[in-house]
């Protein structure tokens, strides 16, 4: 099963749904596709994917655990959810020019995670079919959180000032 999560942004993200739908129709995606569509739910209709508004945390975690691939927008939380679960992640940034976000910060997020070998980036101009093919052999780098170190730095700063 492929899990698609579009985040909680109050703007539709139809491009990725259209691209996934196209790959299903072409036969390049044969697995069941479940989508947490959020705001995009009523903006795109298809019979090729199971689409939900928001999925409660417990069910969402089960879906992440069971998916073979996570396709997501370029939000850090969604990317980290997949990485922490040891999943292959394809991330595509929401873009301001399509009114999917207020700016293009997700481009930087997706490209940085991709450069480190954690995820596969799906940027504008790329073909989803090519990225899906790469995903078959992709072995993501193990993600190591730096949160504890960051907390220590902040705590030391507070204690010393």
The structure tokens listed for 145 are 């959180």
Q: How far apart are CA 104 and CA 93, in angstroms?
A: 8
The structure tokens listed for 68 are 């073979």
- Residues 101-131 have pLDDT tens digits of 989 899 999 999 999 999 999 999 999 999 9
Q: For the chain, what is the domain count?
A: 1
What domain range includes position 151? 2-159
Q: pTM here? A: 0.89
CATH code assigned at 140: 3.40.50.2000
**What region does 94 belong to: left with phi over 0, alpha with psi -120 to 50, or beta?**
beta
- Residues 51-73 have pLDDT tens digits of 999 899 999 999 999 999 999 99
């Amino acid at each position: 099963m492929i899990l698609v999560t579009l985040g909680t942004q109050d703007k539709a993200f139809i491009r990725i749904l259209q691209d996934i739908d196209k790959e299903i129709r072409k036969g390049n995606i044969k697995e069941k596709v479940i989508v947490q569509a959020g705001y995009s739910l009523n903006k795109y209709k298809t019979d090729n994917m199971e689409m939900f508004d928001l999925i409660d945390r417990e069910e969402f975690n089960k879906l992440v655990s069971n998916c073979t691939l996570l396709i997501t927008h370029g939000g850090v939380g969604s990317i980290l959810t997949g990485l922490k679960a040891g999943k292959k992640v394809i991330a595509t940034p929401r873009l301001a020019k399509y009114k999917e976000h207020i700016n293009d910060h997700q481009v930087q997020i997706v490209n940085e995670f991709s450069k480190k070998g954690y995820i596969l980036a799906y940027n504008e101009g790329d073909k989803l079919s090519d990225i899906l093919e790469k995903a078959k052999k992709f072995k993501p780098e193990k993600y190591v959180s730096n949160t504890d170190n960051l907390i220590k730095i902040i705590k030391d700063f507070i204690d010393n000032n």
